[in-house]
Amino acid sequence: MIKTLNIVNGTACINIMKEAKIKGDFLPWKDFLHEGPVPAGISLEELSTIRAKFIASYGLGDFDTIKKDFETRDQKLKSYKEYDKIILWFEHDLYDQLQLLQILAWFSTQELKENQLTFICSDKYLGESSVQQIQKLLLYNTNVLEEHFELAQEAWDAFTANTPKAWANLLKEETEILPFLKGAVYRMLQEYPSTKYGLSRTEYQALQAIADGHSKPLNIFKKSQSLEGRKFIGDVLFWKILDNFESHGVVKKEGGNFHLTPLGKEVLEVKKNWLNITNIQRAIGGVTLTNDNLWCWDMKKETIKQYYYSEPLNTLLKVK
């Protein structure tokens, strides 16, 4: 009997996949790589420790528990030789595509002569799919070829690099063999501060939703998500954005509801830049964004450039 390992994005889709009679064991990856440090040149185990520390720092669990969970996950991955077939099941959004890159890049350095590695990329959310839709996806199961490994390794190296230049350059390359990669690259670049507002796309959508009259946190979240072609962010991370807005005075919270302040209105009217209000400290892949290491996304030109914020001029100046 063929022994199969199904690697999936998280636990939410496993029950429906079992109901669809998908055979084999399941390994949920469970990491939101679009947020927090993902540095280059380290082992899977070292990265898992870094991720566990970051996730715990976000108040999403106890460090030791999260680290143990990652250790169990990584050990299961490294037991792949016990399986005849490994199927990677991932969706089209940024959350999943980064996980897919990490796993493919890892497998690219492993011995796979006795194992069949395949992947299924869906433009539907697995956890929201019907039994019939899950079963139909098996028709699109694709063998992982050397070309897939090469592109995934290139993209993972670019994502974990200490500047976003190589990541942005992927937009100019042929990436169709990983059909949703280019969309993920583009969306990740939009999480850098914009040259216009100093806000990431997610931050802008949240602030604009509040300006449009959405005051309850869940409604703000739903409005922001409705503007996404591919949903990728969870509500817990979104609440962090709202809390940060409140602590810097661009919104005020009354009775659990959020309202735009005059300062927040000035940001949306481009009279104030968010970067002049907050001290940015954020990791995106291998890049650590700070006021001294500032990379911004130009929405009009669709380019990523390094800038510094000039207080006297109250504007962004491009680094030569």
Helix (H) or strand (E) holding 12: none
Least confidently predicted of 61-65, 91-95, 122-126, 207-211: 122-126
Q: How much is the average pLDDT of 305-312?
A: 76
Can you list the domains of the chain with their CATH numbers?
4-180 (3.40.1360.10), 190-318 (1.10.10.10)
Burial 190-204, CB ≥16 within 10 A → b, else e: bbbbbbebbbbbbbb
Helix (H) or strand (E) holding 120: strand 116-122
pLDDT tens-digit map of 133-152: 999 999 999 999 999 999 99
Q: How much is the average pLDDT of 109-133?
A: 92
Q: Could you tell me the pTM of the whole model? A: 0.94
Pair 215, 259: CB distance under 8 Å = yes
Quote the distance between the C-alpha of residue 135 and its chain's center.
27
Q: Specify the DSSP class assigned to residue 213.
A: T
Both tokens of 61, joined, read 């669990």
Residue 307 pLDDT class (50, 70, 90 cuts): confident
Task: For residues 25 and 83, give the distance between their C-alpha atoms in angstroms, rounded to a whole number.
Answer: 9
- pLDDT reported for residue 317: 74
Beta-strand relationship, 4-8 and 85-91: parallel
* Pure H helices in 20-58: 44-57
pLDDT tens-digit map of 197-221: 999 999 999 999 999 999 999 999 9
Task: For residues 24 and 285, give the distance between their C-alpha atoms in angstroms, rounded to a whole number.
Answer: 32
pLDDT at 227 over 90: yes
Task: Write the single-letter amino acid at 128.
Answer: E
Q: How much is the average pLDDT of 226-248?
A: 93
